[in-house]
Amino acid sequence: MPGRLRYKSALITGAGSGIGLESSILFAQEGANVLLVDVNIENAEKAAKLVSERFPNVKAIAWKADVSKENEVEAAVKKAVEEFGRLDVVFNNAGIMHPADDHALNTEERIWDLTMNINLKGVWWGCKYAIQAMRENPTDTREGFASTPQLAYTASKGAVLAMTRELAMVHAREGIRLNSLCPGPLKTPLLMDFLNTDEKKQRRLVHLPMGRFGEAVELAQAALFLASDESSYITGTDFKVDGGLSSAYVTAL
């Protein structure tokens, strides 16, 4: 089904790696212009080059921004509108899982603040500026969604779910849709750097009904669905792509 995002423009944060990278490729493949935003500009540039080479009919532009900084997110949204003339889809995907994030007694305040600033405030800034930009679109084909799913990490993602639901209700009659995309454990640097031994991986795998980690592209497919008109009656949902993990109450034999 090529062309599912034809004439649309998307901004994807954390586009230099993992889910964001795979989503940038898929969105471009389906016809969207994409602003690939990442704090790691080298990776964003590599990703934009790869996307441009594969899909020369769309624009793929790298842009440096730290999503925890309001002025940088504002500038990224402005850049997308300048380049593409409009903004239809924002995927607030950037997030961290800090190695020093621990239980309540061990987690330092600076780790809590850093995690909240990126994982939660970063989504807020993305929604704030994207909603303003989407209101300027000439037609009513506007979509937006936020990424979701360690103490600070869990709290930040839980807050993103609640914030996204409320924003979805507030903006529903404007034709702006907001959904949380909730991944199970995936084979991306974020998790694999953390599960860096076979033992740690096995400790997780035993709980996964399908017996394997997900692939970033499997999330990107869901992101594409939420970004496309095929999900036109879906807003305010916690969209789970977790291989059944959250439904499992026994471990597989």
**What residues make contact with ligand NAD under the rule CB under 6 A?**
13-14, 16-20, 38-40, 43, 65-68, 93-97, 118, 147, 149, 183, 185-186, 188-191, 216
Kindly tell me which of 137 and 204 has the beta carbon lying closer to ligand NAD. Answer: 204
Tell me how far, at minimum, the Cβ of 3 lies from ligand NAD, in Å: 26
Helix, strand, coil tally for the chain in percent (to 5) = 50, 15, 35
Which neighbouring-strand residues pair with 61?
A: 35
Strand (E) or helix (H) holding 146: strand 145-147
Kindly tell me which of 111 and 190 has the beta carbon lying closer to ligand NAD. Answer: 190
Q: Are 81 and 133 in contact (CB under 8 A)?
A: yes
Kindly tell me which of 89 and 96 has the beta carbon lying closer to ligand NAD. Answer: 96
Residues catalogued as catalytic: 153
Tell me how far, at minimum, the Cβ of 174 lies from ligand NAD, in Å: 25
Tell me how far, at minimum, the Cβ of 114 lies from ligand NAD, in Å: 9
Kindly tell me which of 9 and 188 has the beta carbon lying closer to ligand NAD. Answer: 188
Tell me how far, at minimum, the Cβ of 68 lies from ligand NAD, in Å: 5
Kindly tell me which of 19 and 62 has the beta carbon lying closer to ligand NAD. Answer: 19
CB burial class (10 A; 0-12, 13-18, 19+) of residue 116?
Answer: middle
122-135 helix and 70-84 helix, angle to the nearest 10 degrees:
30
Q: What is the C-alpha to C-alpha distance for residues 90 and 134, in angstroms, rounded to an integer?
A: 10
Q: What is the C-alpha to C-alpha distance for residues 179 and 230, in angstroms, rounded to an integer?
A: 14
| Cβ within 8 Å of residue 219, ≥6 positions away | 19, 22, 23, 181, 183, 186, 241
Q: Are 77 and 13 in contact (CB under 8 A)?
A: no
Q: What is the C-alpha to C-alpha distance for residues 91 and 36, in angstroms, rounded to an integer?
A: 10
Tell me how far, at minimum, the Cβ of 234 lies from ligand NAD, in Å: 19
